[in-house]
Structure 1
Amino acid sequence: MSDSILVVAAHPDDEVLGCGATVAKHTATGDRVWHLILGEGIMSRRGVAQAEKDRALHELWDSAEQAASVLGVERVILKKFPCCQFDTLSLLDITHAVEEVIQELKPSIIYTHHFGDVNIDHRRTVEAVETAIRPNGRSFVAEVLSFEIPSSTEWNFAKPEIFRPNVFVEVSETQFAAKMKALFGPYRKEMRAYPHSRSEEYVRALATCRGGQAGFPIAESFVQILRRKHL
């Protein structure tokens, strides 16, 4: 029996950085996967013409669709909240956006951000997910897992909520290659040269590190937020 999977990300490219290889593993086994991306993806900058920003946004949204296609994702849902401003929005509004998609798609597994991330949009996203999945008689979600985002999760030096993975998903070289193709193809403008943590070398090293922690050649790792199991 196949699972239905929802990835809830704050920005375009987070969904691939966080769990792209795991998503490729899900789709390879017949699971249905959707990407919900809450933020528009580009921070407003003074002096940038609106037309230029609009072009960049549409290019980024096209990249999200292309990356999803590489991973075998069925659908991308873009909510387009303002980037790096989730703390100025009502948590209720963000939660409602997540709830609407959960009620429509009825996922059994959700992947989302980690509360200890340095990025405020990431933290607000996981808060909204946690609120949206509270048992209310209409809950379909059996498991929620937090992923790590290079250049955000590991930059948490002051907060006590450190990313301590307790779930490790072994991925094949083919599945990892799909993640890298999505990152360095459609999302290549979002990536950086080594030694930046959004570099090809770092992403590969992280997969090797997480694999080694669990006795796998390569892996993606997660923190389990919730697991509901019927008797």
Structure 2
Amino acid sequence: MRTIMAIGGHVGDMELTAGGVLASAAVRGDKIVTVALTGGERGNPPDKTVSEYRTQKIEEANQFAKELGGEAVIFKYTDGELPDNEEVRWELCDTIRKYKPNVLITHWKNSMHKDHSLTHQIVNAAQFYAGLASIERALPPHWAAGPYYAENWEDPTDFKPYVYVEVTEEGYQLWEKAINHHWFALHSPSYPYKEYYSNLKRIRGIDARKKYAEAFNIQEREKRIIRNEL
């Protein structure tokens, strides 16, 4: 059994962008851990305060993870106020060491949302800290592969799909059920989130000669194809 950790700036980010891959992995028996560095609470509906919506978002994250048989971790930071400091990097380092994921997924480096761009930086630093044996923490070191950078309509600048991962039929159906726990995915007045990502999964599936797929980018230094001969 493998463990996949998907780390977003807000509750719901990874559930939408990489949720099909996560759900497909869960169907295969892998463990899924979603991590949100903030609650994503500032998209609150008119009948709820920001604080009330944060409580709701945490419950939604837990419900999504439960559908996949996984776990959700939500950091204490506020939507739009994710700090650029070592405290959050060490906190994520310790989270990686705790869950020992085989693979990390997170945001692409360029985004219209500051929390997304900053999450990208935080994840890369935390991955390094978590894997370095000479850094002593409460838990032993652990190296996780990746990160793979998910395709997100808010993170489009210079994003080029590089890795296409199939979303199985069973995984897609599980994702469709699980994502309905997120109020904003269905009811946001500013963007049709579920509709967009449902269609994107189909488009990337066509690109990959599959029914459904999700696309990811990786670090430029990792983009090398090694063969013994042509």
What's the TM-score once normalised by structure 2's chain length? 0.82
Cα shift at 1:193: 7.3
Cα shift at 1:194: 9.9
Kindly indicate whether residue 76 of structure 2 is the aligned counterpart of residue 80 of structure 1: yes
CA contact (8 A) 2:203 2:212 kept: yes
Of 46, 54, 57, the residue aligned with 1:57 is: 54
Task: State the match for 1:115 in structure 2.
Answer: 109
1:153-190, Cα deviation, whole Å (9 max, x unpaired): 24x4xxxxx1111111111222112222222x211334
Question: Secondary structure at 1:90's aligned position in 2?
Answer: coil
Question: Secondary structure at 2:104's aligned position in 1?
Answer: strand
Which runs of 5 or more structure 1 residues have no equivalent in the other structure? 157-161
Which runs of 5 or more structure 2 residues have no equivalent in the other structure? 134-140, 223-230
1:28-57, Cα deviation, whole Å (9 max, x unpaired): 112112111110221299xx99x9333221
Task: State the match for 1:34 in structure 2.
Answer: 33
Question: Secondary structure at 2:161's aligned position in 1?
Answer: coil
Question: Secondary structure at 1:208's aligned position in 2?
Answer: helix
Cα shift at 1:8: 0.8
Cα shift at 1:206: 0.8
Of 149, 152, 155, the residue aligned with 1:153 is: 155
CA distance in 2, matches of 1:70, 1:15: 15
The runs of at least 4 aligned residues of structure 1 exceeding 6 Å deviation read none
Task: State the match for 1:71 in structure 2.
Answer: 68
Task: State the match for 1:189 in structure 2.
Answer: 184
CA contact (8 A) 1:145 1:222 kept: yes
CA distance in 2, matches of 1:192, 1:52: 17
CA distance in 2, matches of 1:22, 1:37: 17
* 1:95/1:30 CA distance change after superposition, 3 Å: same
Q: Percentage identity across aligned positions? A: 22
What's the TM-score once normalised by structure 1's chain length? 0.81
Question: Secondary structure at 2:59's aligned position in 1?
Answer: helix
Amino acid aligned to 2:76: K
1:76-110, Cα deviation, whole Å (9 max, x unpaired): 11112111122xx2331221121010111111101
1:56-87, Cα deviation, whole Å (9 max, x unpaired): 211111111111112222x111112111122x
Amino acid aligned to 2:175: K
CA distance in 2, matches of 1:218, 1:90: 36
Question: Secondary structure at 1:186's aligned position in 2?
Answer: coil
Question: Secondary structure at 1:72's aligned position in 2?
Answer: coil
Question: Secondary structure at 1:43's aligned position in 2?
Answer: helix
CA distance in 2, matches of 1:144, 1:14: 15
Cα shift at 1:149: 2.3
Taking the TM superposition and a 5 Å limit, the aligned residue runs for 1:138-149 are 138-149=141-152
Q: How large is the Cα RMSD of the aligned pairs?
A: 2.6
Task: State the match for 2:10 in structure 1.
Answer: 11
